[in-house]
Structure 1
Amino acid sequence: WALKNIPETEAGQQALDDMLTGLTREAQGIELSEDNIVALDWMNGRRTPYADQSVKGAIAGLTLGSTAPEIFKALVEATAFGSRHIVEHMKSQGLRIDSVNAIGGISKKAPFVMQTLADVLGMPIRIVRSEQTCALGAAMFAAVAAGVYPTVEEAMRYMGSDIEIEYRPDTERKKIYEILYRKYLQLARNAEIINHTNH
């Protein structure tokens, strides 16, 4: 939405960067409460595990006093809640997940987003230092195929990238996010009924 409404110029890009910096700074200062705005991250359809591109997002708890940073914070949290839903689904299938490794742009540029994700997931988020993680993984498999290393695990040991930073969950914030996550799931159930009624 922001990109559509800011000119694609150098000045426009600077305005977008300044806006995101300001929203992030103010969102970080908002006290976390179980009464905060809750958003649903279906702005581009729903992701795994129940992918459905026809559903729409939602924001609940708005008042005439709601601010742009509060809405921005709720959208960041919604993305984290959506990620938690994916992780919970994987765990229900018997997978053990103790931490998450993150790569790429947002993981390196947005500490607020990554700390929120760690708090919502209740597990460490480790940011991989390499800028070319996918290419590095392909090179590891190629090294095994070429016989340089006998196993992928061995290739990882010698070729793997180290961790740049680790975000650890805050236990007090996690307790409040448990309540907000339940509200997110309820909002999702309600939105699903509305979305499917409209089809």
Structure 2
Amino acid sequence: MKNLMTNPNRLFTWTLFLAFGAFGTCVATAADEMTAFKLVKEGNQYVGADAKDRVVQIRSEKSEGSVTPNVWWIVYYDPDATLKAMEVKFVGGKKQSVKRPLRLLEPISGGDVEMDKQKLKTDSDQVIKIILKEQALQNVKITATEMKLQHASEGFLGVAQTGDPVWMVKIWASKAPQLGRDTEIGEVFVAAADGKVLKSDLHLNRLD
């Protein structure tokens, strides 16, 4: 510290290092806090008035470096669009693009209907916590997830269509001594209304 105080250049460099380090931490924290439902609110400013909060689907890319996805797409029901959809893409909590996606099959399958806002109660961060508590995963190192929230379609999970929104989460994991590699081990389905695990389709034998 004495050397730093007697050398202005080194002191200035060290100050910059600390400042940028703190800034980077804040940015990372802010991105981590941008859950799926918060991004819906953020995306409202990029869509028309008649599309705000009218969510059809939420999906992410496979997460990198943590179990929390960093890239998300929010699909809104837009009555003014030809295919009734407007999509906002977020990277690190920041809007990257806005477009009208080509969703040709969704009107046939019912995937173009907005989800009931009253049943969107379990956010993406809560879903991850629920999955990490699953008994089957207690001795497994979860490395990544890929998340999608949409209507439960006809025959989904072996039940008739209810229109209830369901989180479908793909899971990647590694197991000692192969901690440098990850393998997709299946999916867990969680109800957005109450956070109940509806089904676990896990294949832990893939880690053998």
* Bigger fraction of residues in helix: 1
* Bigger fraction of residues in strand: 2
Computing the radius of gyration from Cα coordinates, the structure with the larger value is 2
Highest RCO, 1 vs 2 (Cα 8 Å, sep ≥ 6)? 1
Both structures adopt the same fold (TM-score exceeding 0.5): no
Shorter-chain TM range is: under 0.3
